[in-house]
Structure 1
């Protein structure tokens, strides 16, 4: 899927990454980022957000909270991040990218609230219930400021990934807003959900979920109650071509993640303004039973896609040629991905040390892969900027 798009739209990225690996500058088991393309993508998204009057925050988890990624996004004009959890907040803060939005998708644990307020002072803090609102407000009060609170809302028929459920009853939003205004150290600032947009495989289009209508109905109720200025945070499957529709639906905030490196589901079926800027690179370890085993650690096939045949470019030298494409068997999610198995029963025979390049919809933060930022690809002068773990911390590589 994404490898086909990479080969066609950013082939120089593939060859640069393979050359850097073969020269010993990139480790096996790495998500590699084209920082030039990331910066250009961020600039495209920021320009479109500005045109539509949207605040824009960068989601960094998919790129492993990489510090060089954060800095490329900032150079592209997106100044602040949305932190999916406290690990994201710590990593982006450490990289010099302020936290604009905290608490969504993951709430802040009670014992971390004080540190979150004192260290990050997020512009917005999402809460799912009154208890979490009081924790956020008390922490902000101790830190000497009043926290803008976003209420995560839900209604019958809304769409949530399993394990993502939770929030206030949307039908009670006026009372919820009044309650959040009474929180010491807090104030009601607006509403949020996830996902507001979702890729539909049948039509190969991104469509609004019922959640977006829930946000609209809640906003209308708040307006009727006299609240004219509220924030409407509507993340999900964010590309620049979708921002006008979000704004027309009433959204005031957007939060691109995979869009920053051109790997949303829509990027597979349409050539969007954002270039693909992430690949997964590893190395052949050994051969056994007609298979070439390559090092794992970063294999993550996003379950939003139906099963599909996985292929990799496998070669001892940089190439994007179709002759180097080989089928790969990846262990199921229930197994530890120490290795994946490449078909070695073809005319193109893999050998230990060969580079293997894959294209995935990145979610580096749930893997044990390295994350490598490379600059200069667009000018033909590739340079490794950072080699970090999936929490944005400098990796001890090579040992």
Structure 2
């Protein structure tokens, strides 16, 4: 999906990935992140957001809940982490990373609430009154108050499979009445997902119906005296969408793919953010006129299409096929016959936390002195190297 753009805009990353694979420092099924480029992308996003009065929570599920990246973004002044699921939230608590938004897209299980609430998240997204009551119970014992954000939905909204949940606009009167009875829980925001999507025909990212639902909910709450401080409009947050967030009344975005320059928009045009991530594999064997490279990093919506096979950036670019959805991604299929153990470089849409891949952080590339500064699991645990 992004291979051509990486080769065009960040060719030294491809060269370095091949070099370190040949050197034996990068094993197959490893994502390599250009930390110099990620830092520049993050700075540009933050500058754009500041100019539009939009706050940013960083989302790192795509790059493996990585603590080094989390600390970098925290030091830059990002408002905290959006912990998409409770495991990520618990990891950040252990690492001392400030929690921004917890509970969206995955609600926080009851048993994890004491530890997560003790870390004082800025806001927690809830889908039900029952979850609010659980938060209230824990907060009363911790002698603290907690701001919550309502995930809202309405007819015409997009709901991706496996992500169902939230409060309908019609239910808001009952919801507000019930939440006002909880002294330690306060409504402070509204959100939904996805609030932006890429349209191939238009060649741009546009606000979805979900975003208008969020804005309507915020207006309804404010009209009833509820001080809504967060109108959170996630999905595809990048320098192109941050002005749109501001224009339609949003206050918060949550860059994930924007940090690595890999939203769908980045595959089609040159944006302010430059792609800074590649996937490293190597040819395992050949059979039936095809070659097979090691897998492990597949995500069903990755749009994996092309692979660079060989020892240099001028080597062969060939079509690549992921396995059928019902099969484990032991291997990816490469068109043509290629020598066993040759390097394979790809770049596609990532969701690293659902893979078994390793994550390598590369520093010094912008100075022409690249090194692998650390290798981590897909959920952020260090395997080796310095931070």
1:235 equivalent in structure 2: 234
**2:364 is aligned with 1:371:** no
CA distance in structure 2 between the aligned counterparts of 1:228 and 1:127, rounded to whole angstroms? 17
- Once structures 1 and 2 are overlaid, which stretch shifts more, 26-35 or 140-149? 140-149
Q: Aligned pair count?
A: 385
So what's the TM-score if we normalise by structure 1? 0.92
Q: Distance in 2 between matches of 1:85 and 1:382?
A: 33
1:282–1:356 contact (8 Å) kept in structure 2: yes
Question: Corresponding residue for 2:182?
Answer: 183
1:13 & 1:76 partners in 2: Cα distance?
Answer: 23
Q: TM-score, normalised by structure 2?
A: 0.94
Query: How has the CA–CA distance of structure 1 residues 15 and 93 changed in structure 2, closer, same or farther, with 3 Å as cutoff?
Result: farther
CA distance in 2 between partners of 1:374 and 1:91 (Å): 22
Alpha-carbon distance in 2 for matches of 1:201, 1:274: 19
Gaps in structure 1 of 5+ consecutive residues: none
Q: Name the Cα RMSD after superposition.
A: 1.8
Cα drift, residue 292 of structure 1: 2.1
Is 1:311 aligned to 2:306, yes or no? Answer: yes
Decide which of 313, 317, 334 is 1:320's aligned counterpart: 313
Alignment match, 2:209: 210
Instruction: Give unmatched runs, 5+ long, in structure 2.
Output: none
Q: Deviations over 1:67-104 (max 9, x none)?
A: 22223333544251100001221333444421111000
Tell me by how many angstroms 1:10 deviates: 0.5
Corresponding residue number in structure 1 for 2:277: 278
Structure 2 CA distance, aligned partners of 1:37 and 1:287?
35
1:216 and 1:230 map into 2 onto residues whose CA distance is 12
Answer whether contact 2:83 2:103 (CA < 8 A) is retained.
yes
**CA contact under 8 A between 1:28 and 1:283: conserved in structure 2?**
yes
- Aligned partners of 1:376, 1:96: CA distance in 2, in Å? 26
| Other structure's SS at 2:382 match | coil
In structure 1, the partner of 2:286 is: 287
Shift in Å, 1:299: 2.0
2: CA distance between counterparts of 1:46 and 1:137?
A: 33
- Report the secondary structure of 1:48's partner residue: helix
**Residues 395, 157 of structure 1: alpha-carbon distance in 2 compared, 3 angstrom cutoff:** same
- 1:304-363 CA distances to partner (integer Å, 9 max, x unpaired)? x6xx7x221111x3x222x42122222112100111122234xxxx22221111011111
Q: Tell me, yes or no, if structure 1 residue 50 matches structure 2 residue 50.
A: yes
Corresponding residue number in structure 2 for 1:153 = 152
Matched, 1:192 2:191: yes
SS at match of 2:90: helix
1:341 matched to 2:329: no
State the shift of 1:223 in Å: 2.4
Is contact 1:36–1:72 with CA below 8 Å preserved after alignment? no
Q: How do 1:15-94 and structure 2 match up within 5 A? A: 15-78=15-78, 80-94=80-94
Structure 1's 230 and 178: CA in aligned 2 closer, same or farther, altered over 3 A? farther
Question: Partner residue of 2:4?
Answer: 4
Cα deviation code 1:228-254 (max 9, x no counterpart): 543111101111121111112111111
What CA distance in whole angstroms lies between the structure 2 residues aligned with 1:378 and 1:124? 37
Query: Partners in 2 of 1:278 and 1:372 — Cα distance?
Result: 10
Q: After superposition, where does 1:109-148 map in structure 2 within 5 Å?
A: 109-118=109-118, 120-148=119-147
1:360 counterpart = 2:348: yes
Where does residue 253 of structure 1 map in the other structure? 252
Task: Select the residue among 302, 322, 337 that pairs with 1:330.
Answer: 322
